[in-house]
């Protein structure tokens, strides 16, 4: 996306006067194994600090943990059902507890 101002005359290689945004590369998918699972699941994430939240079908946060790359989440206290796993507040994936 660019902004163009016809009242100012100068030449750039892009045809834009000002850059308004930069397209971000797509985020890597969240890998949850096993899925479905029973008492735990393992997340495979890129290296670095991550915030992991697990929500039930009603939107209630059931677990919240910090991670650094690959981690195993203990889900023994959760009831059977479908859960939403959110990473860093933006990326989500579904996980089924049997």
Confidence check: pLDDT of 96 > 60: yes
Find out whether 40 and 74 touch, Cβ atoms under 8 Å: yes
Q: Into how many domains does the chain fold? A: 1
Q: Which domain holds residue 90?
A: 26-97
Instruction: Indicate whether 81 belongs to any domain.
Output: yes
Whole-number percent of the chain with pLDDT over 70 = 78
Instruction: Indicate whether 55 belongs to any domain.
Output: yes
CATH code, 34: 2.60.40.3080
Query: With b meaning 16 or more CB within 10 Å and e meaning fewer, what string describes 4-29?
Result: eeeeeeeeeeeeeeeeeeeeeeeeee
Find the farthest-apart pair of alpha carbons in the chain and give their distance in angstroms, rounded. 66
Question: What are the backbone angles phi and psi of residue 23, rounded to the nearest 5°?
Answer: -75, 125
Confidence check: pLDDT of 17 > 80: no
Instruction: Indicate whether 19 belongs to any domain.
Output: no
pLDDT tier for residue 66 given thresholds of 50, 70 and 90: very high
On average, the pLDDT of the chain sits at: 85
Instruction: Indicate whether 34 belongs to any domain.
Output: yes
């Amino acid at each position: 996306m660019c902004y163009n101002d016809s009242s100012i005359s100068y030449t750039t290689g892009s045809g834009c006067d000002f850059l308004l945004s930069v397209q971000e590369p797509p985020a890597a998918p969240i890998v949850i194994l096993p899925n479905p699972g029973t008492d735990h699941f393992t997340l495979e994430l890129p290296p670095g600090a991550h915030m992991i939240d697990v929500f039930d079908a009603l939107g209630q946060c059931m677990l919240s943990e910090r991670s650094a790359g690959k981690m195993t989440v203990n889900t023994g206290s959760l009831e059977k059902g479908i859960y939403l796993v959110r990473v860093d507040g933006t990326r989500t994936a579904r996980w089924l507890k049997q």
